[in-house]
Structure 1
Amino acid sequence: MPMFSIILPCYNAQATIGQTLDSLRAQSFEDWEAICVDDGSTDRTVDLVLDAAMCDARIRIGPNPGKGPSQARNFGAMIASGEVLAFCDADDIWLPGKLAELAETFTDPDIDGAYGQIGFFQDVISDASVFSTVPGGDLTIPMLLGENPVCTMSNIALRREAFARAGGFDVTMVHSEDLEWLIRLVGAGARITGLPTLQTMYRTSVGGLSTDLDAMLAGRTRAIETAARFGIHPTAQDHAIHHRYLARRALRLGDARTRALRHAMTGLRHSPAGFFKPFRRGALTLAGACGALALPRATCQSLFS
């Protein structure tokens, strides 16, 4: 039985999945299996995974019995044999020491899960200049309702029993299903610790972004309802941070010219202090939202990539 079961949903990922699997095979800690769950790819994704599996018996692939990444992750967790479940998306990259650092962390029996720092890149990981912040202390629901330091499913690993206690992902949710699941995980008593080391590189291609910002807001509302069941409610600052995030996403997408500004103004109405924390991020977002009324779409996408 391997220590880690890496669950990797994939769908039409032929452009990136080879690099993702290479990053798993480059791990200095070698006691793992990778379960690729294909969601009906029509490109060469399955062939590329099968090629990798021929070279490395730790990699296997199977079809998603349902539809969507939540079902794929639930299925992967069900058939996993490892002590620790680690999730990875088919376009992200793990740095070579990630599993070794996690293995050391999980020697503490009181720790149920862990996440690290993320670097954001577009084409090659050496171009990354923006990195996430890992707060001190264990992960809490209020943290998740604000900036959410975990950021992406590629950045979380947890013991199988902790996953079972919290339950799987809500397959009825299209957006923020990972946030809602994390809230349930922490609310169920899981102790999730942050590691102040760079472990995961997140690909920020515009093509991978959702254009349905209204659906994202609806998903967050579902997550907030889950948090309320544990007696936790978002603050005005939390709302301001989220609308700032949506404004930046609208700018990257080159969405309707007024949408970024509407989200920025909504965030400011909730909490000016929250919107401008940190000041540089808030100021640039507001400037971009105003400038988007005149700047070409491609310029906005480049500035906020």
Structure 2
Amino acid sequence: MKNIKMLPQLPFGKKYVFLFHNHVFVMKKISPIGKAKRANIYYSFYTPMSDLLSYPAINPVITLVIPLFNAERYLIETLNSVKFQSYREWQCIIIDDGSTDHSIDLTQEYIANDKRFLLIKRKDRTLKKGANSCRNLGLKQTVTNWVMFLDADDLLEEDCLKNRMLAIESNLSNDMYVFKTAFIDNDKNIKGTFSNPDPNIEDIIYRLLKHQVPWHTMSPVWRKDFLQKTGGWNEDYERLQDIELNLRAVLQKPAIYFATGDYDSFYRFLPMSDEKKKAARFGFCRILKDYYHPLLGNDWISEEYKIKLQESFQQLIERQLINYINNVTGRDLPWEELYMETLNMLNLEVEEIDAVQRLFNKMA
């Protein structure tokens, strides 16, 4: 069997596909033994230059946008979960943000015979780096009415796009279509799911603000013109960008469809690096600064929910300060400056603001 080229596990759902001596073999899914919850992820075999696995250019109906930066470890799994969708009428736009590992080489080899994939290598370094900038570039390149976003380590079930498009075609009047996503560990054990909330917009805002994330970045399919109307992704946010986008979107009171079926996609839940934790601190402060007055001053949010939102803002302010004092070594002066700007914007008492500044000074 030395002629079989093996790749990491993939979410094929119902079958194995592999190439042996220039023949494609298909093996049906075998039911797992035991009661442990695991994603339907199996081994696949793939020869990148095989004509048997090539696809011509088509007229796509939905676009998938993937920002890419140094993602060689999981990239092929993600691309395979897109390539082998039972629904074929898609385009996948991959935007590289200056990868320095083998991500570009892997991508170019992988997509060589499949015109549904498009790789864009960002060359204009005057533009802001980051996943949001890449997503916005992909959104500008999108020619379909429907668009969704994946990260380079996310996974889709085999029938994900088919079922999503069936739901969309049966409910064409919506601006967003939210489907169910599970999160998995590195061994692909399902650790939980993002639960679709009550369709009450006020409740969605409340959950987003409390960081009780109701859906993942890849969970929604967006109507492209609605997403463009919201302004796309906020490139000032390195973390919590999905929270910010969804807050901005739901404040426009969109028509949202919530799927009731099983989960169709998998988010890989991995430990956060120190760099990502730092970016999250900035993200929480920006959420406070950007949405405190717009939410509490909104004329259609009920007084009941404004009280709940006010309490959530207060908890967020306190939690960020406690987390910073207890978990950060040394001082992060740019974050402290942003936090103090946020406190001033919230119109707190001068004595309270001065007390926080004295607390920061003691950390020196």
Normalising by the residue count of structure 1, what TM-score does the alignment of the two structures yield? 0.72
Contact 2:177/2:256, CA 8 A, preserved across alignment = yes
- The question of 1:219 aligning with 2:286 is answered yes
Amino-acid identity (%): 20
- The question of 1:56 aligning with 2:119 is answered no
Instruction: Determine which of 165, 173, 183 is the counterpart of 2:237.
Output: 173
CA distance in 2, matches of 1:214, 1:207: 12
- How far the C-alpha of 1:68 sits from its partner, in A, is 0.8
CA distance in 1, matches of 2:156, 2:118: 18
- How far the C-alpha of 1:238 sits from its partner, in A, is 4.0
Distance 1:80 1:241, change over 3 A: farther
Contact 1:138/1:191, CA 8 A, preserved across alignment = no
Corresponding position of 2:78: 20
- The question of 1:116 aligning with 2:182 is answered no
Corresponding position of 1:10: 68
Contact 1:50/1:61, CA 8 A, preserved across alignment = yes
Corresponding position of 1:79: 141
Q: Which amino acid aligns with 1:215?
A: F
- Is the helix fraction higher in 1 or 2? 1
Q: Which amino acid aligns with 1:224?
A: Y
Instruction: Determine which of 251, 260, 263 is the counterpart of 1:198.
Output: 263
Contact 1:2/1:83, CA 8 A, preserved across alignment = no
Distance 1:148 1:122, change over 3 A: closer
Q: Which amino acid aligns with 2:270?
A: S
- How far the C-alpha of 1:93 sits from its partner, in A, is 0.7
Distance 1:100 1:136, change over 3 A: farther
**Structure 2, unaligned stretches of length 5 or more?**
1-58, 330-364
Structure with larger Rg: 2
- How far the C-alpha of 1:208 sits from its partner, in A, is 5.5
Corresponding position of 2:208: 144
SS at match of 2:179: strand
Distance 1:10 1:22, change over 3 A: same
Contact 2:281/2:320, CA 8 A, preserved across alignment = no
Aligned length: 250
Distance 1:214 1:143, change over 3 A: closer
- How far the C-alpha of 1:221 sits from its partner, in A, is 1.2
**Structure 1, unaligned stretches of length 5 or more?**
258-305
Corresponding position of 1:260: none
Q: Which amino acid aligns with 2:231?
A: G
- How far the C-alpha of 1:173 sits from its partner, in A, is 2.4
- The question of 1:184 aligning with 2:248 is answered yes
Distance 1:82 1:11, change over 3 A: same
Contact 2:296/2:309, CA 8 A, preserved across alignment = no
Normalising by the residue count of structure 2, what TM-score does the alignment of the two structures yield? 0.61
CA distance in 1, matches of 2:271, 2:161: 28
SS at match of 2:60: coil
CA distance in 1, matches of 2:67, 2:318: 29
- How far the C-alpha of 1:40 sits from its partner, in A, is 0.4
- How far the C-alpha of 1:192 sits from its partner, in A, is 2.2
Contact 1:113/1:191, CA 8 A, preserved across alignment = yes
CA distance in 1, matches of 2:296, 2:247: 10
- How far the C-alpha of 1:168 sits from its partner, in A, is 1.5
